[in-house]
C-alpha cells in the first residue's frame, strides 16, 4: 500500500493545537471570502435538493391533501399516510442527496489542502469529486457513513470514536486517488491512533463558540417557563408580549447560530487540513 509523499510546511515537529489554529488563520488570509461562499453554495444546494425530495415524495405542503382550508389543519396533517412507494422513494432520494452533498463537502475539504499548497480556494473545488472516479468517491463516503452508523448502534461514544478515526479519509483520498477505498479508511484509522482526542480537542475549541446561541436557547427556555408559569395571572396583552419576546429570542438564536457557522467552519476546516499535514510529518511521510 503506497502513499504519496506530500511536502507541506518546513518544520520537523508536529505543531500544537494552538499553533495549528494560528497556522490555519494565516492560510485563510485571502481565502476566507471564498471559503464562506463555498459554504453558502453547499447550503443552497442542500436546501434546494431537500425541497425537491419533499415535493417528489409528497411531503411538501404543496402536495398535502387539503380539507378545504388554505393551510392544512392538525387533523389533516396527522391523518396523512405515506405509501410504501413514497417511503422508499424518500429514503432513496435522501441517500442520493446526502451523497451529492457529501461529495461537495469532500471537494471543499480538498480545497483546503490545495490552499496549503498555495492554490487559492475556488468554487470549482466543490465539483472536483464529480470529475474523476465518482463511484469511488461515493464509495469512500458511503463506507464512512456505514462504519459510523454501525458503531453508533453500540453507543454514541463508539460512534464518535469511529467518526474521528475516519476523519482523515477524505484528505488521504485527495493525496492518494489510486488507493483502494478500504485502504483509505484503514490508513485514516492508522494515522488517528493516539490522535483522536487531540483532533476532538481541536474541534472543541471551535465548537465552544456555538455555546452562545445555546445559552440564548437556554434563556428562551427560562423565559418560556416563566411565561407559562405566570399565564394564570397575566393579562392577554402581557401574554402576547411574552410570546413575541419568546419568538424573537428564538429567531435571534437561529440567526446567531447561522452567522457563527460561516465564521467558525472555515477556520475549523482549515485547521483540520493543517492537522492532517502535521500528522503526515509525524508519520515520516514528508520529503525534504
Q: What DSSP line would sit under 112-166, residue for residue?
A: HHHHHTTPPP-GGGGGHHHHS-HHHHHHHHHHHHHHHHHHHHH-HHHHHHHHHHT
Mean pLDDT along residues 8-30: 85
pLDDT of residue 111: 97
Predicted TM-score of the model (pTM): 0.81
Mean pLDDT along residues 1-28: 75
With vertex at residue 75, the alpha carbon angle to CA 71 and CA 79, rounded to the nearest 5 degrees, is 110
The dihedrals phi and psi of 60, each to the nearest 5 degrees, come to -70, 150
Please give the share of the chain, as a percent, with pLDDT higher than 70. 78
Mean pLDDT along residues 40-57: 91
Instruction: Name the least confident of 33-37, 55-59, 259-263.
Output: 55-59
pLDDT of residue 77: 42
Confidence of residue 86 (pLDDT cuts 50, 70, 90): confident
Q: Are the CB atoms for 171 and 273 separated by under 8 Å?
A: yes
3-state secondary structure of 33: helix
CB burial of residue 111 (10 Å; 0-12, 13-18, 19+): buried
Mean pLDDT along residues 1-8: 50
Q: pLDDT digits over 228-278, tens only?
A: 555 545 556 666 766 777 777 778 778 888 888 999 999 999 999 999 999
Specify the higher pLDDT residue, 69 or 161. 161
Amino acid at each position: 500500500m503506497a502513499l504519496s509523499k506530500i511536502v507541506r510546511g518546513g518544520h520537523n515537529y508536529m505543531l500544537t493545537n494552538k499553533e495549528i489554529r494560528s497556522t490555519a488563520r494565516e492560510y485563510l488570509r485571502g481565502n476566507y471570502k471564498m471559503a464562506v461562499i463555498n459554504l453558502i453554495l453547499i447550503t443552497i444546494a442542500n436546501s434546494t435538493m431537500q425541497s425537491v425530495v419533499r415535493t417528489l415524495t409528497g411531503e411538501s405542503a404543496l402536495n398535502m391533501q387539503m380539507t378545504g382550508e388554505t393551510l392544512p389543519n392538525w387533523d389533516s396533517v396527522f391523518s396523512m399516510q405515506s405509501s410504501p412507494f413514497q417511503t422508499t422513494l424518500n429514503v432513496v432520494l435522501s441517500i442520493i442527496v446526502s451523497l451529492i452533498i457529501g461529495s461537495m463537502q469532500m471537494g471543499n475539504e480538498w480545497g483546503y489542502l490545495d490552499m496549503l499548497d498555495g492554490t487559492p480556494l475556488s468554487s470549482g473545488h466543490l465539483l472536483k469529486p464529480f470529475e474523476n472516479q465518482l463511484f469511488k468517491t461515493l464509495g469512500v463516503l458511503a463506507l464512512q457513513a456505514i462504519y459510523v452508523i454501525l458503531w453508533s448502534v453500540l453507543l454514541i461514544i463508539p460512534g464518535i470514536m469511529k467518526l474521528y478515526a475516519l476523519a482523515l479519509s477524505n484528505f488521504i483520498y485527495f493525496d492518494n486517488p489510486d488507493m483502494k477505498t478500504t485502504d483509505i479508511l484503514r490508513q485514516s484509522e492508522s494515522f488517528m491512533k493516539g490522535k483522536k482526542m487531540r483532533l476532538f480537542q481541536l474541534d472543541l475549541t471551535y465548537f465552544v463558540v456555538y455555546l452562545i446561541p445555546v445559552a440564548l436557547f437556554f434563556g428562551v427556555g427560562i423565559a418560556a417557563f416563566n411565561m407559562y408559569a405566570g399565564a394564570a395571572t397575566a393579562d392577554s396583552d402581557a401574554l402576547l408580549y411574552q410570546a413575541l419576546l419568546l419568538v424573537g429570542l428564538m429567531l435571534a438564536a437561529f440567526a446567531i447560530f447561522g452567522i457563527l457557522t460561516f465564521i467558525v467552519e472555515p477556520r475549523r476546516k482549515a485547521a483540520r487540513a493543517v492537522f492532517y499535514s502535521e500528522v503526515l510529518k509525524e508519520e515520516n511521510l514528508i520529503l525534504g
